Amino acid sequence: MDTIVRTAEQIVVIEAARAYVAGIGAIDMTNPGQLAGHLMGAETLLMRIADAFTEPTA
C-alpha cells in the first residue's frame, strides 16, 4: 500500500476514535445495554486502528 494512502488511513481512524470519544457524553454505569454498546463501539474502533498501523505483508 502506498505510504501516503496508509498515512491518510491512519489519520482517518484516529480521528474517528477521537470523534467517538468526544461524542460519548455521560455514561450511566448502571445501564448494561449502554455500557455494552460503548464497549462494542470502542472495540471496533481499536480493531480498525490496529489494522491501519499493522505493517502489510508481502
pLDDT of residue 2: 83
Whole-number pLDDT of residue 37: 92
pTM: 0.76
**What is the crossing angle of helices 3-24 and 32-53, to 10°?**
160
User: What confidence tens digit (pLDDT) does each residue in 1-58 have?
Assistant: 588 888 999 999 999 999 999 998 888 999 999 999 999 999 999 999 999 999 877 6
For residue 1, the model assigns a pLDDT of 59
The three grid cell numbers given for residue 8, joined into one nine-digit string: 491518510
CA of residue 1 relative to chain centroid, distance: 21
